[in-house]
């Protein structure tokens, strides 16, 4: 039992590491996931100023993340398996990648800004191009500022270069050169008019008067703006093409660099939380006992002996309670698939029984009983395969459900064979079942198990009652296992008072089992009165009252046995009320926890009835003029509803039975799960 149903033994390990070796040790621990760190011992040193190396790592990681986001490259939230600490080569490559991508990013931002300005200018120019207003009045536009005049043709390019991104310069008319220069029109935003006027004045621009009565916006301006807008869009298209090229060229390097710097950043954050001196770091944590020799050997090889390792048994540490010792379980793939179900409720206390193996088997059994169908079970099994390691990448997020789905799929398929149901069809398995049962027993039957109480289906009300009795028996077994686990845990924790006198201890178990003994005698007498007689004897009363008295008087009896006084520290009245409440709670919980398992039979019956309705409705429709196609459609829709809706409901009910009926027996104290320091959380 200790090897299978108890968490693994742990050791407290303290490492004293030179600063020159700390990065290598952290990298090793982060890769191997061997140590559950105890950072509570380390006083956080967030007030210590970060060094240049830490600042450089964080800034580089930020730039790499920004570059990847701009390229549309998704980055992992954790380092990759092949990630290493960034060295000089990685730093040089990161600088190159960041420089190239940042340069193109800046170019894109400038181009977008210029395009936006051109669009705003063009839209306003178009809006006023057909207005019956003088050109001079257009100088009062809310956005557009226009200047018309003469400028030496040799200085046109110089003016355009000096105003790039701020104004548009375009020739007007034939632009014959003269002593006063050729005519130009300059357009800019209202905000840029002062800069435009200053630059025009510097270039020797001579304003000319617009003929009185000239109306609208010059068509040359609109045509020039449209041409500039087209060129701006072409430039952006060219940038997008270059982005794709950069993604192909640097994408792999960028992802690898980001993962490396992320690893380095995690290490730097950890180092801030460790106790350190000028020369050494102190790192402390919990390691599975069987892995301590491996850890010590690897660390000594890594540091060439420059490390001090101390390992302690938890029993020898006075300052450590069981609640602080992490629980490490190491199961096979089947049982491991159900660890999340247990640890979502809570981790078992260190040194107590790990219920995960029991949960794995009971979960599949109960689910299969309530969801019996060969076809629907195979669908669940297929979903488990698809969400597994070899399934499509887009289903990777559901990988933790792979084993449970395959397991309950097998259980549902097995139950489906017993009741003879394949995608709600009750006829397909009749022949094979008759051949199989005839070969084994010599008495061929169409169905091994008949849940539906209908004669035409080969069932009966008596068989249904037997089935519900079986589910009650299942509840008795699971409740008893829970009580036994609690009893073993309490004795191992040396909580003898609760182990003997509590409602989930020895007294509670005795009452529960003796009440079941009386109930079984009564049922036998009811079913076969000629062979069995039921009589309530004096020892039956004693068998029920003694455990209840132990539960009610347990606290007083334990103080009497251990010599503690007073016997009623909170008063006789309070003690009496608490004892009476304990008796009522014991009786009610034992009954409710057992009767609750009737839901297993109820949901199994409802599943069979729903399947029968779908199959019957499909057959009835197939015989109408609508035809076979409608019947097939009903089968498909009906099975889809059963798998999605009923499967979800059954799963919830099984979880409820585990949490409220089973776990409540022994999960009175919670431990902490073994969560080793690792760079990759989902290994």
> Whole-number mean pLDDT of the chain?
85
pLDDT band of 217, cuts 50, 70, 90: low
Per the CB < 8 A criterion, the answer to whether 174 and 206 are in contact is no
Alpha-carbon distance of 349 to 665, in angstroms, equals 14
Mean pLDDT score, 415-419: 92
In DSSP terms, which residues pair with 171 in a beta bridge? 184
Residue from 148, 127, 146 nearest 138 by CA: 146
pLDDT band of 489, cuts 50, 70, 90: very high
Residue 245: CB atoms within 10 Å = 11
Residue 432 has pLDDT above 70, yes or no: yes
Question: CA separation (Å) from 63 to 95, 251, 259?
Answer: 10, 14, 13
Residue 69 has pLDDT above 60, yes or no: yes
pLDDT band of 42, cuts 50, 70, 90: very low
In a domain, 382, yes or no: no
In DSSP terms, which residues pair with 136 in a beta bridge? none
The pLDDT, as a whole number, for residue 201 is 84
Residue 455 has pLDDT above 90, yes or no: no
Residue 275: CB atoms within 10 Å = 14
Q: Domain range holding 185? A: 130-216
Per the CB < 8 A criterion, the answer to whether 7 and 351 are in contact is yes
Q: Beginning with the edge strand found earlier in the chain, give each strand of the sheet holding 144-151 in spatial order.
A: 167-171, 182-189, 144-151, 206-207
Residue 359 has pLDDT above 80, yes or no: yes
Lowest mean pLDDT among 173-182, 567-576, 588-597: 173-182
Helices (H), 129-218: 156-162, 193-203
pLDDT > 70 fraction of the chain, expressed in percent and rounded: 88
Per the CB < 8 A criterion, the answer to whether 589 and 515 are in contact is no
Question: CA separation (Å) from 591 to 178, 439, 597?
Answer: 111, 42, 11
Alpha-carbon distance of 128 to 320, in angstroms, equals 82
Residue 2 has pLDDT above 50, yes or no: no
In a domain, 37, yes or no: no
The pLDDT, as a whole number, for residue 179 is 44
The pLDDT, as a whole number, for residue 181 is 58
The pLDDT, as a whole number, for residue 623 is 76
Residue 128 has pLDDT above 90, yes or no: no
The CATH number linked to 160 is: 3.30.70.2750
Task: Give long-range contacts, CB 8 A cutoff, 24+ apart: 648-652.
Answer: 649/603, 650/367, 650/370, 650/371, 650/603, 650/607, 651/367, 651/408
Alpha-carbon distance of 555 to 682, in angstroms, equals 47
Residue from 363, 408, 373, 339 nearest 656 by CA: 363
For residues 367 and 45, which has the higher predicted lDDT (pLDDT)? 367
| Number of structural domains found in the chain | 1
Residue 122 has pLDDT above 90, yes or no: no
Helix axes 219-272, 88-128, angle to 10 degrees: 150
In a domain, 207, yes or no: yes
Residue 252 has pLDDT above 60, yes or no: yes
**Quick one: three-class SS letters along 287-318?**
EEHHHHHHHHHHHHHHHCCCEEEEEECHHHCC
Lowest mean pLDDT among 43-57, 416-430, 497-511, 555-569: 43-57
Q: How many angstroms separate the most distant Cα atoms in the chain?
A: 135
Alpha-carbon distance of 376 to 414, in angstroms, equals 11
In a domain, 355, yes or no: no
Mean pLDDT score, 357-386: 95
Residue from 572, 19, 100 nearest 268 by CA: 19
pLDDT > 90 fraction of the chain, expressed in percent and rounded: 48
pLDDT band of 67, cuts 50, 70, 90: very high
Alpha-carbon distance of 604 to 467, in angstroms, equals 10
Using DSSP bridges, classify how beta strands 280-288 and 206-207 pair: parallel, antiparallel or unpaired. unpaired
Per the CB < 8 A criterion, the answer to whether 604 and 466 are in contact is no
pLDDT band of 281, cuts 50, 70, 90: very high
Mean pLDDT score, 473-486: 95
Residue from 491, 512, 489, 511 nearest 500 by CA: 491
The pLDDT, as a whole number, for residue 231 is 87
In a domain, 153, yes or no: yes
pTM: 0.76
In a domain, 188, yes or no: yes
The pLDDT, as a whole number, for residue 603 is 93
**Cis before 571? omega within 30:** no
- List CB contacts of 317: < 8 A, sequence separation 6 or more: 12
Residue 657 has pLDDT above 90, yes or no: yes
The pLDDT, as a whole number, for residue 589 is 92
HSE-up (13 A, CA, CB side) for residue 359: 29
In a domain, 118, yes or no: no
In a domain, 612, yes or no: no
Alpha-carbon distance of 105 to 612, in angstroms, equals 64
The pLDDT, as a whole number, for residue 490 is 93
Alpha-carbon distance of 539 to 54, in angstroms, equals 77
The pLDDT, as a whole number, for residue 272 is 86
Per the CB < 8 A criterion, the answer to whether 506 and 500 are in contact is yes
Alpha-carbon distance of 108 to 102, in angstroms, equals 10
- List CB contacts of 169: < 8 A, sequence separation 6 or more: 156, 159, 160, 163, 184, 185, 186
Per the CB < 8 A criterion, the answer to whether 424 and 373 are in contact is yes
């Amino acid at each position: 039992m200790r090897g299978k149903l108890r968490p693994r033994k742990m050791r407290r390990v303290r490492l004293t590491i030179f600063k020159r070796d700390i990065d290598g040790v952290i990298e090793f621990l982060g890769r191997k996931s061997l140590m559950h760190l105890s950072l509570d011992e380390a006083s956080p040193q967030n007030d210590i100023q970060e060094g240049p190396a830490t600042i450089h790592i964080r800034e580089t990681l930020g730039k790499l993340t920004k570059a990847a986001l701009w390229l549309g490259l998704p980055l992992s939230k954790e380092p990759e398996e092949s990630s290493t600490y960034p060295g000089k080569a990685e730093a040089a490559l990161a600088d190159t990648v960041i420089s190239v991508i940042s340069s193109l990013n800046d170019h894109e931002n400038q181009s977008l800004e210029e395009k936006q300005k051109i669009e705003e200018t063009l839209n306003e120019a178009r809006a006023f191009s057909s207005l019956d207003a003088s050109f001079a009045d257009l100088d009062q536009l809310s956005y557009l500022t226009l200047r018309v005049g003469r400028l030496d043709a040799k200085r046109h390019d110089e003016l355009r270069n000096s105003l790039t991104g701020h104004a548009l310069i375009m020739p007007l008319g034939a632009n014959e050169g003269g002593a006063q220069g050729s005519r130009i029109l300059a357009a800019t935003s209202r905000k840029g008019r002062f800069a435009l006027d200053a630059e025009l004045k510097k270039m020797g621009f001579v304003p000319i008067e617009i003929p009185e009565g000239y109306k609208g916006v010059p068509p040359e301006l609109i045509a020039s703006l449209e041409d500039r807008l087209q060129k701006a869009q072409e430039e952006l298209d060219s940038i997008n093409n270059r982005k794709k090229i950069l993604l192909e060229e640097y994408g792999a390097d960028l992802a690898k660099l980001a993962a490396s710097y992320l690893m380095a950043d995690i290490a730097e954050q950890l180092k801030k939380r460790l106790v350190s001196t000028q020369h050494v770091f102190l790192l402390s944590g919990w390691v599975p006992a069987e892995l301590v020799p491996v850890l010590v050997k690897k660390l000594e090889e890594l540091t060439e002996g420059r490390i001090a390792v101390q390992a302690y048994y938890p029993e020898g540490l006075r300052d450590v309670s069981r609640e602080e010792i992490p629980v490490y379980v190491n199961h096979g793939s089947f049982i491991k698939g159900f660890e999340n179900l247990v640890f979502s409720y809570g981790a078992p206390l260190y040194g107590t029984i790990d219920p995960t193996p029991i949960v794995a088997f009971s979960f599949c059994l109960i689910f299969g009983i309530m969801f019996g169908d060969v076809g629907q079970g195979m669908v669940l099994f297929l979903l488990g395969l698809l969400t597994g390691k070899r399934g499509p990448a887009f289903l990777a997020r559901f990988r933790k459900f792979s084993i449970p789905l395959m397991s309950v799929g097998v259980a549902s398929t097995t139950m489906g064979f017993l009741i003879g149901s394949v995608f709600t069809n009750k006829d397909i398995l009749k022949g094979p079942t008759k051949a199989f049962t005839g070969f084994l027993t010599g008495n061929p039957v169409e169905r091994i198990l008949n849940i539906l109480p209908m004669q035409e289906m080969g069932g009966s009300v008596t068989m249904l009652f037997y089935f519900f009795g079986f589910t009650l028996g299942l509840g008795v077994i699971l409740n008893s296992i829970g009580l036994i686990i609690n009893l073993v845990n309490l004795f191992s924790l040396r909580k003898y008072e609760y182990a003997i006198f509590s409602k989930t201890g020895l007294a509670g178990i005795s009452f529960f089992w003796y009440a079941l003994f009386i109930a079984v005698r009564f049922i036998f007498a009811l079913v076969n009165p000629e062979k069995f007689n039921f009589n309530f004897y004096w020892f039956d009363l004693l068998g029920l009252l003694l455990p209840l008295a132990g539960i009610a008087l347990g606290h007083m009896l334990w103080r009497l046995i251990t010599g503690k006084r007073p016997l009623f520290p909170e008063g006789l009245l309070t003690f009496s009320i608490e004892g009476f409440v304990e008796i009522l709670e014991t009786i009610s919980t034992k009954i409710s926890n057992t009767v609750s398992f009737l839901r297993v039979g109820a949901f199994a019956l409802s599943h069979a009835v729903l399947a029968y309705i779908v199959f019957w409705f499909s057959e009835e429709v197939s015989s109408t003029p609508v035809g076979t196609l409608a019947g097939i459609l009903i089968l498909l829709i009906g099975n889809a509803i059963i798998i999605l809706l009923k499967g979800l409901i059954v799963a919830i009910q099984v979880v409820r039975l585990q949490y409220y009926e089973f776990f409540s027996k022994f999960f009175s104290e919670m431990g902490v799960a073994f969560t080793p320091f690792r760079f990759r959380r989902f290994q």
